[in-house]
Structure 1
Amino acid sequence: MRLNQNVSLLGKKVVLVPYTAEHVPRYHEWMKSEELQRLTASEPLTLEQEYAMQRSWREDADKCTFIVLDAAKWQAQPGTTEESCMAGDVNLFLTDLGDPSLGEIEVMIAEPSCRGKGFGTEAALIMMSYGVTKLGLTKFEAKIGQGNEPSIRMFQKLHFEQVAVSSVFQEVTLRLTMSEPERQWLLEQTSHVQEQPYRDGS
């Protein structure tokens, strides 16, 4: 999505930056992990395919993606490369043509040392706030593998409720509708987030 390609979002624990070609090699290394392939229902890609995927994520109007950086690492030393601070990614898919106010959200904290620190929670909150304020979303869905208890618990803490279980796909669907109180709660949770211009990357 071109809308977010020049935006970075600074939280307390994480910084969200657009997915650029610079991030692809590290991302590609992550996705060789069988555990991550299983948790994200992904097939391994070649490096060339990964670069093509990155370009499509930037161009496609129905996908919004940010790379999640470890804020402490990123801010510790000026000149630190983003690739060395990468923790995971967060995505919104706007794929329901009949309902443009619905976004499907995915969060992956791929770096083992970054798990269990609240990175996924803050990344999800920032992304949801971006979806509500910039994309006009009022409903969110998350589809999570049945065995991925930490992710299911995280989304339940973010007020999502389970609405369906698919035994075929072995996944749980959780949903959150943004009532006015939910919207206020979300904006309060993300009131510390700073939006900054992002250097123009490819």
Structure 2
Amino acid sequence: MHINKDTIIIGKNVVLVPYRKEHVLRYHEWMQSEELQALTASEPLTLEEEYEMQKSWLMDENKCTFIVLDKSKYEATGSETESMIGDTNLFFANCDDKLCAEAEIMIAEMWARGRRCGWEAMLLMFMYGIDTLGVKQYVVKISYSNRISANMFKTMGFEEISRSDVFQEITCSKIVDEAWASWLRTCLGDFKVQTGFS
């Protein structure tokens, strides 16, 4: 999505940066993992296809993507690629409005799991969607086997709206209201959204 191509979001423990060409090789390496393919319902791509996907996502007005960096590692190394731990996405089914978004989070690096990096990155993405894109409802689709994500989104206030035995996934939803937006801000504390980043 073009709107976030120069945006960086800085939280307590993670930093979100736009998905750019220099991130593709590391991302491609992650997506060779059968575990991550299963958790994200993804098919493996060639490296060339991954570069093409990154370019198309940048131009796609219905997909907002950020790479998740470990903040302490990023501050120590100054390298985005060395600090990459995952990604977070918003998908918009309706081209004409951005009121409802399907949200995704992936923490690919094993060492970064269990440290609430995914939690913080997802909350930052929710706030960006509310404040910048005008999102009024979030939807998440979670594999039956992904108990960690199911529990996380339940704690965030999502409620199950349907199940698909065919796709082996649960769909959950959260309507954005002022109380929930206030809760997000309280959970996040001080965070910064900077534009003009390149």
Please give the range of the TM-score, normalised by the shorter of the 2 chains.
over 0.9
Is the 2:62–2:95 contact (alpha carbons within 8 Å) kept by the matching residues of 1?
no
Using the size of structure 2 for normalisation, the TM-score is: 0.96
Which shifted more, 87-96 or 97-106?
97-106
Gaps of 5+ in 2: none
Runs (5+) with no aligned partner, structure 1: none
1:105-145 CA distances to partner (integer Å, 9 max, x unpaired)? 00000011100100000000000000000000010000011
TM-score, normalised relative to structure 1 = 0.94
Q: Give the equivalent residue in structure 2 for 1:155.
A: 153
CA distance in 1, matches of 2:187, 2:96: 30
Cα offset, 1:196, TM superposition: 2.2
What are the equivalent positions in structure 2 for 1:1-202 lying under 5 Å apart?
A: 1-77=1-77, 80-97=78-95, 100-197=98-195, 199-200=197-198
Using the TM superposition, give the Cα deviation of residue 178 of structure 1 relative to its aligned residue in structure 2, in angstroms: 1.1
Q: Deviations over 1:138-192 (max 9, x none)?
A: 1000001110000111111111111111001100111100122112212332341
> Partners of 1:130 and 1:198 in 2: how far apart?
16
Secondary structure of the residue aligned to 1:84 is helix
Q: Contact 1:17 / 1:198 at 8 angstroms: preserved in 2? A: no
Q: SS of 1:27's equivalent?
A: helix
Distance 2:97 2:142 in 1: 21
Cα offset, 1:198, TM superposition: 5.4
Structure 1, 98-107 or 15-24: larger mean CA deviation: 98-107
Which residue identity lines up with residue 6 of structure 1 in the other structure? D
SS in 2 for 1:64: strand
Structure 1 contact 143–173 (Cα < 8 Å) conserved: yes
The aligned amino acid for 1:162 is E
Q: Deviations over 1:70-101 (max 9, x none)?
A: 01100124xx3211100000000011357631
Distance between the aligned counterparts of 1:195 and 1:184, measured in 2? Answer: 17
Structure 1 stretches of at least 4 aligned residues deviating more than 2 Å after TM superposition: 96-100, 187-191, 196-200
Q: Among the aligned pairs, what percent are the same residue?
A: 47
Taking the aligned partners of 2:187 and 2:65, their CA distance within structure 1 comes to 20
